[in-house]
Structure 1
Amino acid sequence: MEYRCVQCGFRIKTLFVQYSPGNIRLMKCVNCKAVADEYIECELMIVLIDLILHKPKAYRHVLFNVLNHERTHFQGLLWKSLVGFLVLDAYRSLLVKKPEEEWGTSMSISSIFWIYRKMLMDVFLGNYMFLCSFLFAIRSLLKTSAQFSRFRDLLLAVLISSYFKILLTAMMVWEFPPAVIYIIDLFVLSSNTVALKGQIISTLQFFT
């Protein structure tokens, strides 16, 4: 089983040694000589705060040492994350189109059906183009067609780091200006950048 140091991304065999229940010793990274993963002893709230603050080591902890595909049902996690991502993206598209369309009780069923069909087409087509561009860019960067599982790891990093989309659900309760949607998009983009940066560096270390 492969773990990563949250400080430098170096591969290590184990994160801690347990002497007795509740008595553990955190291992140090042989590369940077720092504690490999101090988040093991931290509460979940601290991890969430560091994720919001875009700390790379928090993303390494979650993506490598928590969501390790050898310890969890990786395929199921990937599909669940993809479905959640698409649902939130569809809701975002609905919020964007809502001010543009004339919503009301006078709308016919065919008009509502057309709006929702157009919204779903935009979501699926847009994400399909994004996925194709993403895989092409990663393949060009890595200069290899092997290790497809690494592409799945990078895709999972994008899906998990898009958690800021959950903030869109607050617009079901409170009225926010449309500009808030684009602010959330910026947070999602910055979170994706931090997560992918750590993943790509670790993937390049894997191939070297």
Structure 2
Amino acid sequence: MEGQNDASSAPRCIGCGSLVRMLYVQYSPGNIRLMKCEKCKAVADPYIECEFMIILIDLILHKVEAYRHLLFNMLYLDSDAYKGILQSSVLAYIFLDAYKISFLNGGALDSSDSLLSAIWCWAKILTGALVEDLVFMLFILMGSKFVLNFSYNIERYREVILAIIISSYLKLFLLSTMVWESPLSVIHIVNIFVLSSNIVALRVVTQSQIGWCVGICCLAHVAKILINHWLLQLL
């Protein structure tokens, strides 16, 4: 099996980031040969033979190679699964932010609330999370456009959005607060890890200098925090 794609979705060498024609050749089931990058002469993507837990550990350690493997070689923009992955990731992203708002507000519901009141409360929280995330993504895209001189290409912007959303996977740790009682500091710790992960993902997907990516992500997260504080005052 050969990894053949056009330039917009071609796989990349996880070491130097260069485009490669294919990642491996499959001779028979379970018998593959990893291909080398023509530029750096190293194996283009050794993660192909790694267990998922190894990849996950390297993602948590913020290794650029692991992010290149995830964002370029596992997720192709023209694959049939791409739209489903993007849609489900967006929904999970908004839900987790809605839960974060509810957690910071001391719980969205009261046992004495009527069903109508509960529905109205959650509608406000979901709307707030949506507004918060739209502002955040707007800052990320504007930064990519004007600071990083991103060319106007809808596929490239979708690539940035997907990279930011997927690199926010550490938000899943918020679900542990449903099981164990946790202090509010957990939210801030998760936010710090998500910020650092977003910076690495933006650097990988835009192939830009780390300093610019730090500035864009920090500005976007500050805007999101301000919107979050404003929403908590309204709830």
TM superposition score category, shorter chain reference: 0.7 to 0.9
Greater displacement, 151-160 / 118-127: 118-127
* Correspondence list, 1:4-153, <5 A: 4-98=12-106, 104-107=110-113, 112=118, 115-143=121-149, 145-153=151-159
Amino acid at match of 1:162: S
Question: In 2, distance between residues paired with 1:145 and 1:51?
Answer: 28
Query: Offset of 1:77 from its aligned partner?
Result: 1.6
Partner of 1:205: none
Q: Confirm whether residue 162 of structure 1 aligns to residue 191 of structure 2.
A: no
Structure 2 unaligned spans of 5+: 209-235
Query: By how many angstroms is 1:132 displaced?
Result: 1.7
TM-score, normalised to structure 2, is 0.78
1:192 aligns with 2:201: no
Equivalent-residue separation in structure 2 for 1:177 and 1:88 (angstroms): 17
Which has the higher mean CA deviation after the structures are superposed, 5-14 or 140-149?
Answer: 140-149
Shift of 1:179: 0.5
Higher relative contact order (CA 8 A, sep 6+): 1
- Runs of 4+ aligned structure 1 residues displaced above 6 Å come to none
Residue 105 of structure 1: how far off its partner (Å): 3.4
Deviations 1:29-80 (A, max 9, x none): 1121211000011111111111111111111111111111233432222111
TM-fit CA distance, 1:143: 3.0
Q: Taking structure 1 as reference, are residues 116 and 42 closer, same or farther at Cα in structure 2, changes over 3 Å only?
A: same
Aligned residue for 1:172?
178
Bigger mean CA deviation after superposition, 106-115 or 47-56: 106-115
Q: Which runs of 5+ in 1 are unaligned?
A: 203-208
Q: Percent of aligned positions with the same letter in both sequences?
A: 46
Deviation at 1:108? Answer: 5.7
Instruction: Give the aligned residue type for 1:184.
Output: V
Q: Is this contact kept in 1: 2:144–2:150, CA < 8 A?
A: no
Q: Secondary structure at the match of 2:207?
A: helix
Specify whether residues 37 and 106 from structure 1 end up closer, same or farther in structure 2 by C-alpha distance, changes over 3 A only.
same
Aligned-partner SS, 1:4: coil
- CA deviation string 1:9-33 (max 9, x = no partner): 1000101122333222211111212
Q: Which residue is 1:206 aligned to?
A: none
TM-score, structure 1 as length reference: 0.87
The one-letter code matched in structure 1 to 2:63 is: K
Q: What is the CA–CA distance in structure 2 between the aligned matches of 1:149 and 1:59, rounded to whole Å? A: 19
Give the Cα separation in 2 of the matches to 1:18 and 1:121.
48
Pairwise CA distance, 1:6: 0.6
1:188 aligned partner, one-letter code: V
Report the CA distance between 1:137 and its aligned residue: 1.2
Residue of structure 1 in register with 2:226 after alignment = none
What number of residue pairs does the alignment pair up? 200
- RMSD (CA atoms): 2.0
Q: What code does the residue aligned with 2:58 have?
A: D
Q: CA-to-partner distance for each residue in 1:90-149, whole Å, 9 max, x for gaps? A: 0111101117x8x64345667645543442232121111112222211111343553210
